[in-house]
Structure 1
Amino acid sequence: MSEWLLEVQGLKKYFPIAGGIFGRKIGEVKAVDDVSFYVKKGETLGIVGESGCGKSTTGRLLMRLIEASEGKVVFEDQEITRMSKSELRKVRRDIQMVFQDPYASLNPRHTVETILEEPLIVHGIGTKEERRKRVREMLEVVGLSSYHARRYPHQFSGGQRQRIGIAKALMTKPKLIIADEPVSALDVSIQAQVLNLMRDIQHEFQLTYIFIAHDLGVVRHISDRVGVMYLGRLIELSDAELLYDQPKHPYTKALLSAVPVPDPAMKRDRITLTGELPSPANPPSGCAFHTRCSLCIDICKIARPESVNLNGHSVACHLYNE
């Protein structure tokens, strides 16, 4: 068996654009455009980028919550993209998701106990008493109390709701958790608590994470490797420390220059991007970033750069040596 828990090859998702009287297809939105990466067992892979870059769509494609247009997703040597619904249900026991909005992802009409029991009922795990015991255990694991099981989601704060969302993801004892911006809807003071909780849980249950976020500071805190997305493509991927210390892509450098530094005496050159983020319905030719890049040369406008692997540091840029 491979050391890789998850492998993604050439993943694409194009959404059709309908128009005219008859609603015919007149174009397509390239939400995810040829993304490839792997995830090792026990690591945290962070995926960052601006809103609309395709990172959340990528997360949903990995679980087949939406169907891919092209590409392969292989989990533990099993290709998810070709599985039947019954086969997929078995695999989803090992892959769970934590969503961005902790309130929208919890049914307001159900108690916490009913919400947490649901994954176990769906997968046919345990007796009623065993399921209730598991609910109480998971509530304690995420820093809540067993008596909270009788309450409803509206009776909790945002941070507590996200803890319930994490508990729900843990119910089936998964191997991989895809966390889609799990702390972006929380107060800054609560974000650190939830991130530390997720890191403790990872060590306790030997979990693997894909952590999707737009905040580079948050991603650095929790990730072993970081991938940067721009307009549906993965343009840079590296070990977290190497990416933050020696970014290769101009877009990554611009993002890092905007991260606040908690030292008023430290001066940092801010790289300001000009222009607007292009539409994924009409992406630029060549390198998608060339319309906003100050280093742009002629080849950037014509040829789409392939990803180059520099001792584990991958970058898709014609000027990575500059």
Structure 2
Amino acid sequence: MTKPLLKVENLKKYFPIKKGVLGRVAGQVKAVDDISFYVNEGETLGIVGESGCGKSTTGRMLLRLLEPTEGTVEFDGKDITKLSAEEMRKTRRDIQMVFQDPYASLNPRHTIEKILGEPLLVHGIKSAKERNAKIREFLEVVGLSDFHAKRYPHQFSGGQRQRIGIARALMTNPKLIIADEPVSALDVSIQAQVLNLMQDLQTEFNLTYIFIAHDLGVVRHISDRVGVMYLGKIVEVSESEDLYANPLHPYTQALLSAVPVPDPDYIKQEVFLEGDIPNPADPPTGCTFHTRCPFKMDICTRAIPKLIEVEKGHSVACHLYPDGTDNDIKTDGGVIQ
């Protein structure tokens, strides 16, 4: 078995809630609460979930744009949470990020040439000739022309700006790219172009992706494996096609049942969730999903379910699968069989 390029263990991020004139800490928002996963070299791991579940916070912690509260992030054999600021800056040459908003992530005062050249300057490529050659090379790689280098961000469409964002991430020849909802701000027709571009680049440059999104159709298209997050925790991880064909966690089933199917004659069994997402500053005891789960049992309110492998390559954190082997669980009026 190949060694994972990235291995995350027991990662947490708690934001303090401060009150009063003196800024007394009155509580904590548990944005990411004890998650573990791995990413193999050359694969794409999709991370999905509703807004506020901790997806983007997780992505930023992997680059240490946010400092983890607890846990380890092992990249290419070394724990980056223990690196100094200078060592982490050098490591970021191998880990880059594509941000969600193609409008906000590019400096409007800089030309594309300067935006793309900045990562090269930061990582020690001082030769202007070498930088210019790389800038033009990667503009062409993402489907733009070298004359675009002299233009400013406002002169491009959203899809073109995201291509520039992808080119900027590629400038240092990284091993891992964290894509934080890279197509959510784009039109559907442009989304497909950007996704296909990312897949072509993955093959060409042997890239590894962590693809963060809330659109399940997009994640299915690009991901090899998918992790589902709810209220700061990973509740299910599986091979992409297996997850869509056989979702085990009630939350995953609810997400998939909400995806519209373009067939008026298709009848699907839907899972309806009650209530709203709980406050992450005061999460429910036991399983955080029990307040909305149609299959809630008494144990769900008391014990936190562990993420266990119930089928080969398919893990779930749910008390409906207590021993990791029983997949024949009957429920009243539900879809879990």
What is the TM-score when the length of structure 2 is the normalising length? 0.94
**What does the per-residue CA deviation read over 1:88-121, in whole Å, with 9 as the maximum and x for residues that have no partner?**
1111000000000011110000000000000000
Q: Is the 8 A contact 2:48 2:55 kept in 1?
A: yes
Q: Report matched runs for 1:49-60 at 5 Å.
A: 49-60=49-60
State the SS of the aligned residue for 2:274: coil
Matched, 1:157 2:185: no
Structure 1 residue 291, shift from structure 2 partner: 0.3
- Map residues 275-294 of structure 1 onto 2, 5 A cutoff: 275-294=275-294
The CA distance in 1 between the partners of 2:177 and 2:47, in whole Å, is 13
- For the residue of structure 2 that corresponds to 1:291, the secondary structure is coil
Residue 91 (structure 2) pairs with residue 123 (structure 1): no
CA distance in 2, matches of 1:54, 1:72: 17
The Cα shift of 1:2 comes to 5.7
Letter in 2 for 1:125: I
3-state secondary structure, aligned to 1:270: coil
Equivalent position amino acid for 2:40 in 1: K
SS in 2 for 1:53: coil
Is the Cα contact below 8 Å between 2:2 and 2:40 reproduced in 1? no
Alignment correspondent of 2:169: 169
Which residue matches 2:17? 17
For the residues of structure 1 that align with 2:173 and 2:296, how far apart are their CA atoms?
48
In 2, the alpha carbon distance for the partners of 1:114 and 1:295 equals 55
Aligned to 2:68: 68
The residue aligned with 1:142 is 142
State the Cα distance separating 1:309 from its structure 2 match. 1.1
CA drift of 1:20 comes to 2.2
SS at match of 1:113: helix
Equivalent-residue separation in structure 1 for 2:272 and 2:131 (angstroms) = 53
| More displaced stretch, 253-262 vs 25-34 | 253-262
Contact preservation (8 Å) 1:2, 1:77: no
Contact 2:139 2:146 in 1 (8 A): yes
Mapping of residues 269-280 of structure 1, within 5 Å: 269-280=269-280
What letter corresponds to residue 286 of structure 1 in structure 2? G
**CA offset digits 1:59-87 (Å, max 9, x no partner):** 00000001000000000101100001111
Is the Cα contact below 8 Å between 1:31 and 1:54 reproduced in 2?
yes
Task: Give the distance between the partners of 2:265 and 2:119, measured in 1 at CA.
Answer: 51
Q: Tell me, in whole angstroms, the C-alpha distance in 2 between the residues paired with 1:165 and 1:95.
A: 14
Letter in 2 for 1:128: A
Does the alignment pair 1:96 with 2:96?
yes
Q: 2: distance between equivalents of 1:126 and 1:199?
A: 31
Matched ranges for 1:117-266 at <5 A: 117-125=117-125, 127-266=127-266
Residues 2 and 76, structure 1, Cα contact 8 Å, conserved in 2: no
State the 1:312 CA deviation: 1.6
**Counterpart for residue 301 of structure 2:** 301
Whole-Å separation in 2 of the counterparts to 1:74 and 1:83? 11
Task: Provide the rounded CA distance (Å) in 1 between the counterparts of 2:245 and 2:283.
Answer: 30
Q: Which string of whole-angstrom CA distances, capped at 9 and with x for unpartnered residues, describes residues 124-153 of structure 1? A: 125110100100010101011110000000
> How far 1:23 sits from its partner (Å)?
1.5
Aligned pair 1:29/2:60, yes or no? no
Distance in 2, Cα, partners of 1:161 & 1:180 = 15
Shift in Å at residue 272 of structure 1? 1.6
- Cα distance in 1 for partners of 2:175, 2:27 equals 38
Let me know the Cα RMSD of the aligned residues: 1.0
Question: Which residue in the other structure is 2:319 paired with?
Answer: 318
Determine if contact 1:99/1:182 at 8 Å carries over to the other structure.
yes
Q: Which SS does the other structure have where 2:5 is aligned?
A: strand
Distance in 2 (alpha carbons) for counterparts of 1:23 and 1:84: 29
Q: Distance in 1 between matches of 2:126 and 2:268?
A: 56
Residues 276-298 of structure 1: CA distance to partner in whole angstroms, max 9, x if unpaired? 10011000000000000010010
Q: Contact conserved, 2:224 with 2:239, CA < 8 A, in 1?
A: yes
Secondary structure in structure 1 of the residue aligned to 2:291: helix
Find the counterpart in structure 1 of residue 334 from structure 2: none
Measure, in 1, the Cα distance between the counterparts of 2:70 and 2:153: 38
**Aligned partners of 2:20, 2:105: CA distance in 1, in Å?**
35
SS in 2 for 1:264: coil
Q: Is the 8 A contact 2:139 2:167 kept in 1?
A: yes
| Deviation (angstroms), 1:264 | 2.2
Residue 254 (structure 2) pairs with residue 267 (structure 1): no
